[in-house]
A = this chain, B = another copy of it.
Amino acid sequence: MSETTPIFGKLTLIGAGLIGSSIAHAARRANLVGEIAAYVPRPETRARAEKAGFADSLYAEIEPAVRDADCVVLATPIGTYASLAALIAPHLKQGAILTDVGSVKGVVVKDVGPHVPAGVHFIPGHPVAGTEQSGPEAGFAELFDGRWCILTPAPGTDAQALDKLKTFWRRCGGDVEIMDAEHHDLVLAITSHVPHLIAYNIVGTAADLETVTRSEVIKYSASGFRDFTRIAASDPTMWRDIFLANREAVLEMLGRFNEDLAALQRAVRWGDGDALFNLFTRTRAIRRSIIEAGQDVAAPNFGRSRTTGGRR
């Protein structure tokens, strides 16, 4: 397979949100597919997807959407996977690849696996990329550039199918890592799920105060709080499903976070400046490593525009 020939004749996206539409844009940019179909059952969302124009065909029904597809990508909230897999399975052609983009992988194996017919290659996946925006208009071709896509194939997965999917993600701009599903869920619990949970939590705490008004929280948010509100603006349905699906790993990592926070709270209460200083010094090094690894920008304040359209 050369670096310019299409990988799949027909690619079917189940769902057309941020990730689904970004896959379509990235696949077109690199000429990875002959045809892009998308299953978008809600008329309102289908109209938006039509306007965004990233798919060749949009379907309200499963059967014509997945018929003859070489690759089908589940790109809806995880809670919908089990019933969608049951709908999709009877219409998949022999040799097709069925994959997904969900942020939890153990549950996908459990919910989707039993429905997969013999002769179809089921390879769970997770492109570790996103923004706080959602919907068919939110996607863009560069979303996966320089980001990692984790695949969690079961032992014995067809090597050729796996190679095809790896090539697909690489040519979408990403790097591919293979991992088992359980370890994936532990890694993402600390790098993604718990950070989202505590961001949602502090924004909720701030909104409920009686001693500080909401207007004050908003006015003075540039001192740190605003960073958390970006993450806490992520899609509620998607994130509800993630926490329901990765309960054990989230609770394990949250337990560690709470232990560490209790120690830090004690250091504040007892005025232990050395403990504070030591932690605050240690954490700087991690930031540097992330920038060096190309996973964030070095510019201050994430390179936010210096004048953010403020009041003057």
Whether A256 contacts B205 by the Cβ 8 Å rule is yes
Whether A190 contacts B217 by the Cβ 8 Å rule is yes
Whether A312 contacts B195 by the Cβ 8 Å rule is no
Whether B273 contacts A244 by the Cβ 8 Å rule is yes
Given A204-B260, A225-B195, A232-B283, are A218 and B293 neighbors across the interface (CB < 8 Å)?
yes
Whether B223 contacts A130 by the Cβ 8 Å rule is yes
Point out which of A173, A226, A283, A304 has the most chain B C-beta atoms below 10 A from its C-beta.
A283
Interface residues of A toward B: which range? 35 or more
Chain B residues closer than 8 Å to A279, beta-carbon distance: 200-201, 204
Whether A302 contacts B300 by the Cβ 8 Å rule is no
Chain B residues closer than 8 Å to A214, beta-carbon distance: 286, 289
A-B pairs with beta carbons under 8 Å apart, 28 shown: A132-B300, A133-B300, A145-B312, A147-B222, A148-B222, A173-B312, A175-B312, A191-B225, A195-B225, A201-B279, A204-B283, A205-B257, A209-B256, A214-B286, A218-B295, A222-B295, A226-B295, A226-B296, A232-B280, A232-B286, A236-B280, A240-B273, A295-B308, A295-B310, A296-B308, A297-B308, A301-B302, A302-B304
Say if the beta carbon of A155 comes within 8 Å of chain B: no
Q: Which residue of B lies closest to A264 (CB)?
A: B201
Q: How many copies, total?
A: 2
Q: How far is the CB of A238 from chain B (nearest CB, A)?
A: 9
Whether B211 contacts A186 by the Cβ 8 Å rule is yes
Q: How far is the CB of A279 from chain B (nearest CB, A)?
A: 5
Alpha-carbon separation in the docked complex, A286 to B201 (Å): 13
- Per-position 1/0 for A269-306, Cβ under 8 A of B: 10101001101111110111110011111111111111
Which of A8-16, A43-51, A246-254 is near enough to bind chain B? A246-254
Contact check: which of B192, B244, B271, B287 meets A223 at CB < 8 Å? B192
Whether A222 contacts B296 by the Cβ 8 Å rule is yes
Chain B residues closer than 8 Å to A258, beta-carbon distance: 258, 261, 265
Say if the beta carbon of A146 comes within 8 Å of chain B: yes
Whether B236 contacts A284 by the Cβ 8 Å rule is yes
Contact check: which of B173, B203, B296, B305 meets A283 at CB < 8 Å? B203
Q: Which residue of B lies closest to A278 (CB)?
A: B236
Say if the beta carbon of A120 comes within 8 Å of chain B: no
Say if the beta carbon of A3 comes within 8 Å of chain B: no
Contact check: which of B222, B239, B306 meets A280 at CB < 8 Å? B239
Q: Which residue of B lies closest to A271 (CB)?
A: B244
Alpha-carbon separation in the docked complex, A302 to B132 (Å): 9
Alpha-carbon separation in the docked complex, A228 to B203 (Å): 14
Whether A148 contacts B276 by the Cβ 8 Å rule is no
Given A132-B301, A219-B177, A287-B132, are A310 and B269 neighbors across the interface (CB < 8 Å)?
no
Whether A269 contacts B247 by the Cβ 8 Å rule is yes
Say if the beta carbon of A206 comes within 8 Å of chain B: yes
Point out which of A224, A261, A310 has the most chain B C-beta atoms below 10 A from its C-beta.
A224
Say if the beta carbon of A110 comes within 8 Å of chain B: no
